[in-house]
Amino acid sequence: MSIQNLAEPDQAVGTDRMAPVTVGVGPLSFEDVVAVARHGASVEISSESLEQIRRSRGIIEALADDVVPHYGVSTGFGALATRHIPLDLRAQLQRSLVRSHAAGSGPEVEREVVRATMLLRLSTLATGRTGVREQTAQAYAALLNAGITPVVHEYGSLGCSGDLAPLAHCALAAMGEGTVRTADGELADAADALAAAGITPVELREKEGLALINGTDGMLGQLVLAITDLRQLLTTADITAAMSVEGLLGTDDVFAADLQALRPHPGQAASAENLRKVLADSPIRESHRDPEACTRVQDAYSLRCAPQVAGGARDTVDHAALVAGRELASAIDNPVVTLDGRVESNGNFHGAPVAYVLDFLAIVAADVASMAERRTDRFLDVARSHGLNAFLADDPGVDSGHMIAQYTQAAIVSEMKRLAAPASVDSIPSSAMQEDHVSMGWSGARKLRRAVDGLTRVLAVELLTAARGIDLRAPLEPSPATGALIAELRKSAAGPATDRFLAPDIEAAVQLVASGRAVSAVESVTGPLN
């Protein structure tokens, strides 16, 4: 499954239309990360952070001649940490570390992921806890501001000792080596790209190579982007669920606030409120409110329990956001320069806390998608659609309607269920058993990006199908909120008719969901949704 970014990235970098993000005045916010990673905002390092960087660098330089070995300063790395490195080889030690660890393979990672990774590594450098020089930190800011994006590959991180290979490819570019993409997306040699941008390549000194590759920045950046996208998608899921309830002649009585309050999960209450807002003043709903005219006692679970499932997903996203917020406030390196000037080894680079929530989010994304697919399928079955044509076809038998659109949904949901298998329960020892337990957090992040894309597409098919079903209820009118969304959809995907090439209509719905225009269309009537 390919990855659909949920917002079109702005290619221009460092423009006046967006304020620069200042690094080092406290933890970065989700909005900061998205602004830099996805929308090309520039960055600057606070003066206070530059002073901290200079102070900790002085501590590292004071250790250079110490007869006592210091990991990453005067020793090798990992299982090779027992080797004492003489002074004249220490610059080579750092260069060799980055070059050897830039060992990624496979497809190229998305621009927004690489920019998020670099921003988060810069944020840790700006804490002054890593011991790098000021010019090294400034080089990362310069690369981001010039829109130069190192080529990073899909495979290479085990999510422990940092996202080593992805971060090494970023560090390699700062050295003026390897391959990058320029601001306009063209592949280029890093040395040429840096020269064209007026950026001096970094000549790494003691500990700097290690400091540039030893963090959870890749998996964390992807977590922040996924949380941002999932929050929009879960609002969209409430909207499409409401459309399905409406189009399938379901009841909104079960979404009443007092019923939801009997089980006081905050996400459930938020989703139910959204459903009530979208369904408000629906003539279709009013047409079957009379209990004597409507013989159904209860709707199917996929309709009735929508707030419970989407609400549980919302609460899971909030938990993941709590973890991500803590990680954004962290300074991850090994060894680390403490506030009182000690240089200490530690295990904070282990990605377990991030890996667990990455896996958890893939699970809930799959379940929300699974429920949406079940609602779509109900529209297509004459035994369950309450009077609609088979498969919503214009002339069933001659036309197939949305039969295969549901197949597409089902294929995606099946893939999402496979992606929901946790990565964090696996561990393959590395570095001659020195690194004998790893998190696989990067793998969890890559799975989650595909799951987010899958959920986008599944909700788009539900939107397209529910809109068609509602149109076929004419002359009954939908709710004002639903009507506004269908009108927006109809700008790019025509209403019910004989069969036509369906893939473009699905893609139009995907873009409507991914861009946020589906939510905006509904909110133009309801006001802000949860």
What 3-state DSSP class applies to 426?
Answer: coil
Residue type, 476: L
Which positions ≥6 away from 232 have C-beta within 8 Å? 6, 516, 519
Does a cis peptide bond (omega within 30 degrees of 0) precede residue 475? yes
- Please count the other Cβ atoms lying within 10 Å of the Cβ belonging to residue 36: 28
Strand order in the sheet with 149-150: 149-150, 179-181, 187-189
Does a cis peptide bond (omega within 30 degrees of 0) precede residue 504? no
Q: What is the DSSP letter of 180?
A: E
C-alpha dist (Å) from residue 27 to 48, 220, 329: 14, 13, 5
**Count of positions (residues) in the chain:** 530
Nearest to 518 by CA among 449, 456, 450, 448: 456
Residue owning tokens 């004002």? 480
Residue owning tokens 């890559």? 446
Q: Where are the alpha helices (DSSP H) in 248-391?
A: 257-261, 266-279, 283-286, 301-304, 306-328, 352-380
Cα(464)–Cα(267) distance, integer angstroms: 25
Which positions ≥6 away from 242 have C-beta within 8 Å? 252, 274, 275, 278, 279, 479, 481, 482
Cα(39)–Cα(265) distance, integer angstroms: 34
Cα(289)–Cα(293) distance, integer angstroms: 8
Q: What is the DSSP pairing of strand 43-45 with strand 21-23?
A: parallel
Q: Does the annotation count 407 as an active-site position?
A: no
Nearest to 238 by CA among 466, 3, 1, 490: 466
Q: Find the catalytic residue in 71, 155, 301, 407.
A: 71
Q: What angle do CA 331, 333, 335 make, to 5 degrees?
A: 125
Cβ(375)–Cβ(244) below 8 Å: yes
Dihedral class, residue 161 (left if φ above 0, else alpha if ψ from -120 to 50, else beta): left
For 381, list phi and psi in degrees, rounded to 5.
-105, 120
What residues are labeled active site? 71
